[in-house]
C-alpha cells in the first residue's frame, strides 16, 4: 500500500490542465536533487506551488479522517460511527460560516472552523458530566444533540446570508475543496497530524482492550477514562484540523476503516496503520479526479459519495457473506 501511495503521488503530480506528461514532472523532481536535465520553468512552478501542496494536503486529510474513523469505531464499538460523531463537522461548518458572514479571509475562516469544531467536541464532552452519566452511549447521544443544534444554527446563518456571495461560499465550503491549499495550511496542521497520529498508533493495543468493554478493560489494568479521553481528544483534533482546511468531506472515515478490517482483521495495531495508507490513497484519488475529469472543479463530497457509497455497499455485502 505504501508503494501504491508513492506511485499515486507521482501520477497525481503528472496530471493536470497544463500538462499530463510524466517525463516533465520527473525532470523537475530530478533537477531538485541536482541532476542536469532540461526543466520547463512553468511546469516547475506548477508542480511545487500548485500540485504538490494540494497532493500533500489530500494525503494528510485522508490519513487523518481514516485514522479518526477507525479509532471512533473501535472505542464506541459501532461500525457505523464516523469522525464527525461528536459534532466536529457541524461545529467547523458553523465557525466557517461565521467567518464568511464577517467577511474574513481564508486563513481566518480556517481558524474559525477549527475553533468551532473543537468547541462542539468540548460541549459534547461536557453534557455527560452535567448529567453524571459518562457512558459511551451518553457521549454518542450528546454528539447527536450538539450536531443537530449546530445544524440548525448553520441553517439560520444560511437564511440570513447574502444569496449571491455569502450563501454560495458557505455551501461550497460545506462540499469540500482543496483548491486554495497552500504551504502554510500544511504547516498549520502538520504538528497536530504528527503528534496525534503517533499517540493513537502507540495506544492502538489499548484501543483493542477498550473494544472489549469497560469492565474487561479495567480487569486487564487499563485506566479506561484516561485512555478513552486521550483517544477521543486526539481523534477529534485530527478531524477538526482536516475539516478546517478542506471543508466537510464525507464517507472516508466511515468506509476506509471497514476496508482495512476486511484486509487485516480487527486488530487495531494493524488496522490503524493500514487505514492511514488506504485513506491517503483514497483521498488522493478523489482529489485527482476532482481537478482533472472536468473543466470545472468538482466538490470533493460529491465524488466521495459516488465512490464511497457503492464501495460501502460492497463491503457490507462481503461481511454479510462471511457471516453467513
The pLDDT confidence band at residue 282, using thresholds 50, 70 and 90, is very high
The answer to whether residue 151 scores a pLDDT higher than 60 is yes
CATH number of the domain encompassing residue 104: 1.10.3470.10
Which range marks the domain in which residue 170 is found?
A: 2-323
Measure the CA–CA gap between 32 and 193, rounded to whole angstroms: 26
Q: Is the pLDDT confidence value at 20 over 70?
A: yes
- Greatest mean pLDDT range, 80-94, 144-158, 305-319: 144-158
Res. 34: pLDDT tops 90: no
Q: What is the pLDDT of residue 320?
A: 64
Q: What is the mean pLDDT of residues 34-38?
A: 80
> For residues 200 and 320, which has the higher predicted lDDT (pLDDT)?
200
Percent of the chain scored above 70 by pLDDT? 98
The runs of H, that is alpha helices, within 161-267 are 168-175, 183-202, 204-210, 214-219, 224-246, 252-264
- Which distant-in-sequence residues (6+ apart) come within 8 Å of 21 by Cβ? 14
Q: What is the pLDDT of residue 135?
A: 74
pLDDT at 317: 77
Of 264 and 182, more confident: 264
Statement: residue 323 has pLDDT above 50? no
Can you tell me the distance from the alpha carbon of 217 to that of 221, in angstroms, rounded to the nearest whole number? 7
**pLDDT tens digits, residue range 156-172?**
999 998 888 889 888 88
pLDDT of 132 strictly over 50: yes
Which contiguous run of DSSP H or E holds residue 70? helix 52-75
Among 141, 37, 127, which residue's Cα sits nearest to residue 81? 141
Number of domains in the chain: 1
Top-ranked range on mean pLDDT: pick from 61-70, 72-81, 116-125, 287-296: 61-70
Among 32-41, 94-103, 270-279, whose mean pLDDT is lowest? 32-41
Residue 5 has pLDDT above 70, yes or no: yes
Average pLDDT, the chain: 88
pLDDT for the residue numbered 321: 54
What pTM did the predictor assign?
0.90
Amino acid at each position: 500500500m505504501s508503494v501504491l501511495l508513492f506511485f499515486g503521488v507521482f501520477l497525481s503530480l503528472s496530471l493536470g490542465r497544463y500538462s499530463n506528461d510524466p517525463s516533465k514532472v520527473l525532470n523537475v523532481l530530478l533537477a531538485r536533487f541536482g541532476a542536469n536535465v532540461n526543466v520547463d520553468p512553468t511546469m516547475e512552478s506548477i508542480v511545487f506551488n500548485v500540485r504538490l501542496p494540494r497532493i500533500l494536503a489530500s494525503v494528510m486529510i485522508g490519513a487523518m479522517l481514516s485514522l479518526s474513523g477507525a479509532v471512533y469505531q473501535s472505542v464506541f464499538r459501532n461500525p457505523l460511527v464516523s469522525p464527525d460523531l461528536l459534532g466536529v463537522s457541524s461545529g467547523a461548518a458553523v465557525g466557517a460560516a461565521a467567518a464568511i458572514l464577517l467577511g474574513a479571509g481564508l486563513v481566518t475562516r480556517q481558524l474559525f472552523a477549527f475553533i468551532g469544531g473543537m468547541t462542539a467536541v468540548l460541549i459534547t464532552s461536557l453534557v455527560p458530566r452535567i448529567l453524571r452519566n459518562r457512558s459511551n452511549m451518553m457521549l454518542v447521544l450528546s454528539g447527536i444533540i450538539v450536531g443537530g443544534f449546530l445544524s440548525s444554527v448553520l441553517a439560520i446563518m444560511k437564511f440570513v446570508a447574502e444569496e449571491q456571495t455569502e450563501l454560495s461560499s458557505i455551501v461550497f465550503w460545506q462540499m469540500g475543496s482543496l483548491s486554495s491549499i497552500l504551504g502554510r495550511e500544511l504547516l498549520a496542521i502538520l504538528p497536530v497530524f504528527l503528534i496525534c497520529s503517533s499517540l493513537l498508533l502507540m495506544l492502538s493495543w489499548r484501543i483493542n482492550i477498550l473494544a472489549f468493554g469497560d469492565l474487561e478493560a479495567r480487569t486487564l489494568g487499563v485506566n479506561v477514562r484516561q485512555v478513552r479521553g486521550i483517544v477521543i481528544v486526539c481523534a477529534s483534533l485530527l478531524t477538526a484540523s482536516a475539516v478546517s482546511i478542506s471543508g466537510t468531506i464525507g464517507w472516508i472515515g466511515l468506509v476506509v476503516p471497514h476496508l482495512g478490517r476486511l484486509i487485516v482483521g480487527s486488530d487495531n495495531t494493524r488496522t490503524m496503520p493500514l487505514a492511514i495508507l488506504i485513506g491517503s490513497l483514497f483521498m488522493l484519488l478523489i482529489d485527482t479526479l476532482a481537478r482533472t475529469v472536468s473543466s470545472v472543479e468538482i466538490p470533493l463530497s460529491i465524488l466521495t459519495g459516488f465512490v464511497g457509497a457503492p464501495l460501502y455497499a460492497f463491503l457490507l455485502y462481503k461481511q454479510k457473506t462471511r457471516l453467513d
